[in-house]
């Protein structure tokens, strides 16, 4: 029972990070019907920007000398990394995707793969090919214990912040004017444009929010595992895309559900079977879900004529 509880906590922590990345995939797909494979590099880029920002700000005694200072230090790190990567996402959409908006979908897909490889190689060649340590000693190392299950303070921060960000995004999309414009664009882009909605602005907002959430996940990953690397986005990116598909790609709540399910499944597979088989089990579950529900758990299956 202790192992089950501990793996459940680990899985929820992992799932929170997957859910944040999966939202970026599902936001872009929901609006543009495009799979943005460069999104995994937003996760990696966020980790690097977060590390450099953290190391720079940590030089100031006012931000490290007290508990409140450390809270401000982390808030500024997340804010600067989120805004920077969000702007990078908007620039990528403007340069690499917008000119292909009316081209066959395959062209945009290949462009996304090209952007992904460019960003990964840019970090490898211009920054470093080695793993960089991500300092997490500012967070207390202890935790809470419930019936033999330990929840570290870092896990509490990751899960709590992830759920808070997911809640804010869900509220933003369902309650605000921009969120309604996003939903209208996802249903029929041409009709939304005829109704006076600025399509370019809506798409830019999606490309800002998704990468910003991916950047937060990248910083969490650095804090959780203690290091970052230029190719760190590949596997989490594939698993988060899987999470978005399992939940029903294009559906925000489906992406959240899929992220937590994939995280818990992966942790349980590691705990009860073997970490060597966790990816086999995760992708086996993807095949199983898609066999019985092609549209995902919360999505709708549709047949498109060619």
Task: Tell whether pTM > 0.95.
Answer: no
CB-CB contact of 23 with 34 (8 Å): no
Kindly calculate the radius of gyration of the chain based on its CA atoms and give it in whole angstroms: 19
pLDDT for position 305 = 40
Least confident of 83-87, 90-94, 238-242, 246-250: 246-250
pLDDT for position 214 = 94
Whether pLDDT at 190 is above 60: yes
pLDDT for position 300 = 66
Whether pLDDT at 278 is above 60: yes
């Amino acid at each position: 029972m202790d192992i089950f509880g501990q793996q459940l906590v680990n899985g929820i922590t992992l799932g929170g990070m997957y859910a944040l990345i999966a939202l970026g995939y599902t936001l872009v797909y929901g609006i543009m019907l495009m799979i943005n494979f460069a999104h995994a590099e937003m996760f990696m880029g966020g980790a690097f920007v977060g590390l450099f920002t953290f190391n720079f700000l940590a030089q100031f005694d006012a931000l490290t000398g007290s508990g409140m200072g450390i809270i401000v230090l982390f808030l500024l790190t997340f804010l600067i990394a989120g805004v920077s990567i969000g702007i990078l996402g908007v620039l990528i959409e403007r340069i690499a995707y917008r000119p292909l908006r009316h081209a066959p979908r395959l062209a945009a897909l290949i462009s996304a793969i090209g952007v992904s490889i460019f960003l990964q190689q840019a970090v490898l060649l211009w920054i470093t090919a080695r793993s960089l340590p991500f300092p997490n000693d500012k967070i207390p190392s202890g935790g809470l214990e419930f019936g033999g299950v330990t929840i570290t303070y870092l896990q509490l921060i990751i899960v709590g912040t992830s759920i808070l960000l997911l809640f804010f995004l869900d509220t933003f999309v369902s309650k605000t004017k921009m969120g309604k414009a996003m939903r209208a664009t996802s249903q029929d882009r041409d009709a939304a444009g005829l109704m006076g909605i600025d399509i370019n602005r809506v798409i830019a907002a999606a490309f800002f929010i998704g990468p910003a959430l991916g950047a937060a996940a990248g910083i969490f990953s650095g804090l959780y595992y203690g290091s970052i690397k230029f190719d760190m986005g590949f596997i989490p990116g594939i698993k988060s895309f899987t999470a978005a598909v399992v939940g029903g790609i294009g559906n925000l709540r489906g992406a959240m559900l899929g992220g937590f399910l994939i995280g818990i499944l992966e942790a349980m597979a590691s705990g009860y079977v073997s970490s060597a088989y966790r990816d086999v089990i995760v992708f086996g579950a993807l095949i199983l879900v898609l066999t019985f529900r092609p549209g995902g758990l919360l999505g709708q299956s549709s047949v498109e004529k060619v």
